[in-house]
Amino acid sequence: MSSLLLIINIVGLLLLVGLLYIMQRKHVSFSKRVFTGLGLGIAYGLILHFAYGTDSAVLQESMPWFNIIGVGYVKLLQMIVMPLVFISILAAFTKVTIGKDFGKMAGRILGMLIGTTAIAAIIGISATLIFGLDASEIVQGEAELSRGVSIEERAGEVADRALPDQILDLLPANPFLDFTGARPTSTIGVVIFAAFLGFAYLAVSRREPENAATVKKGIDAIYSLIMGIVRIVLRLTPYGILAIIARTVATSDFGAIYSLGKFVMASYVALGVMFGIHLIIIMLSGLNPITYVKKAGDALLFAFTSRSSAGTLPLNINTQTNRLGVPDGVANFAGAFGLSIGQNGCAGIYPAMLAVMIAPSVGQPIDAQFLITLVIIVAISSFGVAGVGGGATFAAILVLSALNLPVALAGLLISVEPLIDMGRTAVNVSGSMTAGVTTARMSGELDTDIYNGNVEGQTVEA
C-alpha cells in the first residue's frame, strides 16, 4: 500500500510539472509561471501534509523524489555560481565598465551592505522589545536541547574569530580551491581573484594591445558560453519552486509554528520593515520602488522558497542586469559580496533578536550601552557569513559569544527555523540587489531605460 501511495505522490508532482511545461510551450510569461509554480506547490504541499502528517513514512519516502527536482535545481544554480561570478567580473574589465573607479564602487557596495545590516539590527531589537519576546518563555524539547549542544560545539570552533581573521578569510590563498566552493567565503575569494586578473588585463592592454585583444576575444567567448548555461538553468525556475515549496509545506510542523507564533510574527514584522527600508533607499535614489518590487519579484520569490542566497545568485545577477539596468561588474560585486558580508536578515535581524531575547534570562539588563554594543558587534560580525544554510546560526554564534551570552539558547527556535529562514533569505538577496542598484545610480551607470522598461519584455531567461 505504501508503495502505491508513494507512486501516487510522485505522479501528482509530475502532473504539476507537466502543467508548467505546457504553460512554457504556450509562451506564458516567466513571472506568471513562477507564481503558478509557487501556488501549485503550496496547494499540493497542503494536500500531502493533511493527508499523511509530517511523521508519515510515505511522506518521508516521497520527499527524496521531490528533491530530485527541487534540490537538483538548486545544485544546478550552485554549479554556475563560481563560473558566472568569475567571468562576469573579468568581462566587466574587458568592456571597461570597471577601472579607476573600482575602489569607489566596491566601497559604496560594502558601505551599503554593512550600513543596512546595522539598521537591520536596530529593527530586530525594536521588534523584540515591542513584542516582548523572552527566551525563558520557550519550552525546550529534545530537539531544542540537541540543537543547543550542537551549537555550543560549533561555538568552540568560531568563538576566537577576531575581525582581522574574518577579513583575512576573504582573501584567496588558493583561488582554484575557492572555485570548488570549499570555504564559506569562496565566492568573495573568486571575486578578488577575478579583479586582480582584470587589473592585469588593463595593464596588458596599455603595453601589449595585440595580446590584450586576443585575451578579450577569449574572455568574451567564454562569457557568451557561460551566459548560455545560465539561461538554460533559469528556465527551470518554476519547476524548482514548485518542488521546493511543496516539500516545505508538506513537512512543516504547524503545531510548533503555532506555539512559537509570536516569535514568527515578530520576525516577519522586522523583515517586512527592513524590506521597506530597502524601498525607501531605492526611492531616495530617485527611482520608483514599485518598479523595483515588480522586477525583483522573481528573484526574491526564489530566495524565499529555496532558503539559499548562494543558489539565488545567478537569478540575482541576471535580474539586476536584465531588468534593473545595473552594469555587469556592479551587479556581480553586489551579488557576490552580499553572500558573505552584510546579510540583512541572517546577520542583522536574527542575531539581534536572539541577543535581546536571551539577555534577560542571564541577568543582562537591556540598557543603552548593551544595545549600542550589540548593533556594533552585529555590523562587524556580518563579515564572512556564508550564503547557504546555517549562515544565520553562524552569525548568532559570533554575536552571542562576543556578548558573553549562552549560545546554546540559539537552538530554541529549531522548529520554526525553516519558516523564518525563508523570509531572512529574501531580505538578504534584496539587500544585495539594493546595494547594486543604488551604487550604479550614484555612479551614473544605471540604465534607467531598462529600469523603467516593461517587465514583460525583460525576462530573466532571455
Pair 101, 431: CB distance under 8 Å: no
Question: Residue 85 — very low, low, confident or very high, per pLDDT cuts 50/70/90?
Answer: confident
Look at residue 403 and tell me whether its pLDDT is greater than 60: yes
DSSP 273: H
Q: How far apart are CA 7 and CA 340, in angstroms?
A: 41
- Percent of the chain, pLDDT > 70? 87
State mean pLDDT over 391-410. Answer: 77
pLDDT value, residue 462: 46
Does position 231 have pLDDT exceeding 90, yes or no? no
Q: Is 383 helix (H, G, I), strand (E, B) or coil?
A: strand
Exposed (0-12), middle (13-18) or buried (19+): which is 52, by Cβ within 10 Å?
middle
Q: What average pLDDT is seen over the chain?
A: 84
For residue 347, the model assigns a pLDDT of: 86
Confidence (pLDDT) at 129: 92
Angle at 173 between CA 169 and CA 179, to 5 degrees: 90
Q: Which residues pair with 383 in a beta bridge?
A: 341
Residue pair 341/385 in contact by the 8 Å Cβ criterion = yes
The closest alpha carbon to 421, from 311, 293, 294, 336, belongs to: 311
- Residue 120 confidence (pLDDT): 95
Residue where the block lists cell 585575451? 215
In the Cβ-directed half-sphere of 386, how many Cα atoms lie within 13 Å?
A: 11
**What is the distance between the alpha carbons of residues 312 and 84, in angstroms, rounded to a whole number?**
12
The pTM score is 0.80
pLDDT greater at residue 408 or residue 65: 65
Average pLDDT over residues 424-430: 93
Comparing CA positions, the residue from 308, 322, 335 lying closest to residue 430 is 335
pLDDT at 459: 62
pLDDT tens, residue by residue, 110-162: 899 999 999 999 999 999 999 988 876 665 545 545 555 555 555 455 555 55
Residue, of 456 and 28, whose pLDDT is higher: 28
Residue 171's pLDDT band, with cuts at 50, 70 and 90, is confident
**CA 353, CA 134: separation in Å to the nearest integer?**
10
Nearest in space to 359 (alpha carbons), one of 317, 319, 410, 318: 410
Query: What would the mean pLDDT of 36-41 be, rounded to a whole number?
Result: 92
